[in-house]
Amino acid sequence: MPNFAEGQARTWTYSADAENIFGNGLEAYKQGRFDETLNHLGLLAEFPLNQRSSAGQFLLGKTLYRLGRFAEAINAALVLQRRFPTSRYLPNARLLIGDSFFNSKHYSEAASQYGRLLATQAPLGIQAQAAERLAAMYWNGQLKEQERTRLRQAVGAVRLREALFFGRARWYQRLGWQEEAAQAMQTYRDSVANGIFAPIAAVWGSDLTAYSPRVGERSPRLGLLLPLTGPDRRTGEELRDGVRLANREAGSPFELVDADTGVDYGNLPIATGRSGDVSESPASGLLRVAYGAQRLLDQGVVAIVGPLHSSSSVVAATVAARAGVPLLVPLAQQSGLDALGHSVFQLKTVSKTEARLLGEYATLVLGLEHLAIISPLSDYGLDFAREFTRIAERNGGQIAHSDWYIPKETTDFRRVFEEIRAAGLALMPPPVDTLEVVEEEPEEDKFIDTIDGVVVVVESFADAKTIAPQVHFHRLQTQILGNDAWWNPEAIRQMRPGERKNFDGVIFVSKRQPESAAERSFVSTFRKQFRRDPLYAATGYDATHLLIDGWEQGHRDPAALVEWLTTVRFYEGASGVISLSPDVRSNSALTLLKIERDKVRSLGTGDLPQMGAAE
């Protein structure tokens, strides 16, 4: 019997001969010549550890299964799990073990394997097959009540219920009962909201193998470096939903490979980067990112989407840059991240880029001279304030006052605005010298018009809703200027008229486009498939479509994709416009928008200041 990697070193080398032998064995397997397949695999096992060793071990198990040698097939799959702990075929191997137990009439053991696939991270196609098998065993009465209880405990009652609803529809379809299958699938859709099988249910058809991985498939692999467990799980899963949607729309050109950067401590009172009595060491999270990135590279991905936070992105960027593999960072706005390597790309705009455009417009176009800045106490806020100040002062502007607040926590801005008013009062000209007695207006009642603009930098629209009303409350007659986080047209539409007047006239920079056709189409499709509104998925969707576009244009290796990504100009995506370049690999596509009553619109020539008539 072939024995792959026994006693060999744990590092593998590429072998063209091994590739050819594996290809011959796979072809024989597809044609049903299983004894011939075993002969080819015997030759492959004689090679040192190579790029086809783990695939060969899995194909060995599949071949033995097809020959009816179920005990040997189980052993081959267990060897794969033991000797190749990072193999992409591990979920397939567990499914093979379950199928072998089932055909040996060991139903309890089979159900245990299928249940573990549903309870852990596994490709959706594998989980769909496990659900189908479990449903068949349930409805055929092949599982005793105590075995069903163990399954509910292992999988979770909610997920097991979903799997049985979905699996029954798959099972009926496999039996050729199309009407019953359609009814069962409708029952699943009506009974389960936002389930794990929703992407398949949304495109339900007659092709049962559409989501089944194939042995030896040559599709390029796209790595997802995202938190799929722990407190950031929902954000990570939504980004992954966006990636999956884009990949599926294009005919699934990429095989998606997950690397979970999250951790679930269960009921233990351990916080991960959040407040708590006991906190996880920041190094632990960064180590998971580093290991995850390296694991994806070891599996031969051509690009990586992720991770989530700026600190994690710094770690992933160093790993990806060293390998020359493109890393598309979806959400992080850390300035300078793209400088870590030529293969690192940020799809969000960074604070310095936003501040530069806003500073140029405020001083050179609007002609604002005396300005105040209110920024969050964060790296983003500090970078924004520094860059805006640099641009404004270079163009002849003056920062009359600059202040800080704690994002999502500070609610009382009285001190901040009192100091801005004081700076404005100091800029007012002295009263006219006259002998007449003039009653002086109390300072607190004066409207301040000497502060030409107040730059309000926020990290969430919630902070904008807190700060904007206080500008007017403190009697500042000024132009409010903002950053990209002011974009929230839906929230502005839903405001009461009295609340909305505090936002009327605000000018801010953004990569978003009002009435974007790409965004409307994406939101509509996402809602239909996942039955919820997207918050972050659009960026994962755009990252994947960019890579697919490059791949389909012939840029079919990491280095070629890197070069192609630097040529992307004004790509109109679901998350906004994206522009990259060899020198600036963070998104530089920004425009100026204005809030006008209940809408957000692009600035036009009518928004330019009036020019004085010539003398």
Name the pLDDT band for 447 (thresholds 50, 70, 90): confident
Domain annotation covers residue 464? yes
Task: Indicate the residue type of 223.
Answer: G
- CATH number assigned to the domain comprising residue 129: 1.25.40.10
Predicted confidence at residue 437, as pLDDT, reads 54
Name the pLDDT band for 101 (thresholds 50, 70, 90): very high
Q: Are 75 and 59 in contact (CB under 8 A)?
A: no
Is the same domain home to 110 and 56? yes
Domain annotation covers residue 609? no
Torsional sign, CA 67, 73, 77, 80: negative
Domain annotation covers residue 458? yes
Question: Which of helix, strand or coil describes residue 503?
Answer: coil
Predicted confidence at residue 269, as pLDDT, reads 52
Is the same domain home to 85 and 170? yes
Per-residue pLDDT at 139 exceeds 90: no
Q: Please name which of 589, 588, 587, 590 lies closest in space to residue 345, comparing C-alpha atoms.
A: 587
Choosing from 458, 487, 510, the residue where a domain stops is: 510
Question: Which of helix, strand or coil describes residue 40?
Answer: helix
Please compute the mean of the pLDDT values over residues 109-135 and round it to a whole number. Answer: 87
Is the same domain home to 388 and 313? no
Predicted confidence at residue 197, as pLDDT, reads 81
Tokens of 242: 């966006």
DSSP 283-341: HHHHHHHHHHHHHHHHTTEEEEE--SSHHHHHHHHHHHHHHT--EEESS---TTGGGG-
Q: Are 223 and 304 in contact (CB under 8 A)?
A: yes
Least confident of 5-14, 210-219, 300-309, 318-327: 210-219
Predicted confidence at residue 11, as pLDDT, reads 59
Q: Give the whole-angstrom CA distance, residue 299 versus residue 257.
A: 8
Sole residue written with tokens 């047209």:
489
Torsional sign, CA 356, 362, 366, 370: negative
Q: Please name which of 369, 509, 389, 374 lies closest in space to residue 455, comparing C-alpha atoms.
A: 374
Name the pLDDT band for 432 (thresholds 50, 70, 90): low
Is the same domain home to 305 and 400? no
Per-residue pLDDT at 210 exceeds 80: no
Which has more pLDDT, 175 or 388?
388
Least confident of 278-287, 310-319, 320-329: 278-287
Q: Please name which of 274, 276, 275, 296 lies closest in space to residue 285, comparing C-alpha atoms.
A: 274
First CA to last CA distance, the chain? 99
Predicted confidence at residue 613, as pLDDT, reads 41
Examine residue 307 and say whether the peptide bond preceding it is cis (omega within 30 degrees of 0).
yes
Which has more pLDDT, 524 or 212?
524
CA dihedral 274, 280, 281, 287 (to 10 degrees): -100
**pTM of the predicted structure, to 2 decimals:** 0.62
Residue pLDDT, tens place only, 49-88: 888 888 899 999 999 999 999 999 999 999 998 888 878 7
Is the same domain home to 274 and 230? yes
Is the same domain home to 328 and 284? yes
Q: What is the mean pLDDT of the chain?
A: 87
Is the same domain home to 161 and 241? no
Is the same domain home to 92 and 76? yes
Per-residue pLDDT at 215 exceeds 70: no
Is the same domain home to 103 and 21? yes
Predicted confidence at residue 511, as pLDDT, reads 93
b/e 63-81 (16+ beta carbons within 10 angstroms → b): bbbeeebbebbbbbbebbe
Q: Give the whole-angstrom CA distance, residue 497 versus residue 414.
A: 24
Q: Give the whole-angstrom CA distance, residue 67 versus residue 63.
A: 6
Tokens of 325: 């593999």
Per-residue pLDDT at 16 exceeds 70: yes
Range of the domain at 238: 221-348+516-586
Is the same domain home to 320 and 190? no
Torsional sign, CA 113, 118, 121, 124: positive
Per-residue pLDDT at 97 exceeds 70: yes
Is the same domain home to 274 and 344? yes
Count of structural domains within the chain: 3
Q: Give the whole-angstrom CA distance, residue 281 versus residue 271.
A: 9
Per-residue pLDDT at 8 exceeds 80: no
% of the chain beyond a pLDDT of 70:
89
Per-residue pLDDT at 191 exceeds 60: yes
Backbone angles phi, psi at 451, to 5 degrees: -90, 105
Domain annotation covers residue 610? no
Task: Indicate the residue type of 523.
Answer: V
% of the chain beyond a pLDDT of 90:
54
Name the pLDDT band for 100 (thresholds 50, 70, 90): very high
Predicted confidence at residue 278, as pLDDT, reads 46
Residue 552, H or E segment: helix 537-552
Bridge-based pairing of strands 327-329 and 344-346 is parallel
Q: Are 61 and 96 in contact (CB under 8 A)?
A: yes
Name the pLDDT band for 320 (thresholds 50, 70, 90): very high
3-state helix, strand, coil in the chain (%, to 5): 50, 10, 35
Task: Indicate the residue type of 210.
Answer: A
Sole residue written with tokens 């806003």:
358
Domain annotation covers residue 209? no
Name the pLDDT band for 483 (thresholds 50, 70, 90): very high
Cα Rg for the chain, rounded, in angstroms?
Answer: 30
Q: Name beta bridge partners: 256.
A: 222
Residue 375, H or E segment: strand 370-376
**276-279: long-range contacts, CB 8 A cutoff, minimum separation 24:** none
Choosing from 144, 168, 202, the residue where a domain stops is: 202
Least confident of 268-277, 318-327, 371-380, 396-405: 268-277
Domain annotation covers residue 612? no
DSSP 13-39: B--HHHHHHHHHHHHHHHTT-HHHHHH
Domain annotation covers residue 20? yes
Domain annotation covers residue 614? no
Is the same domain home to 369 and 499? yes
Please compute the mean of the pLDDT values over residues 144-164 and round it to a whole number. Answer: 86
Task: Indicate the residue type of 208.
Answer: L
Q: Please name which of 516, 473, 1, 548 lies closest in space to residue 242, comparing C-alpha atoms.
A: 548
Name the pLDDT band for 274 (thresholds 50, 70, 90): very low
**Cα angle, residue 419 at apex, residues 418 and 420 outer, rounded to 5°:** 90
Choosing from 510, 544, 571, the residue where a domain stops is: 510
- Which residues are CB-contacts of 611 (< 8 A; sequence separation ≥ 6)? none
Per-residue pLDDT at 257 exceeds 50: yes
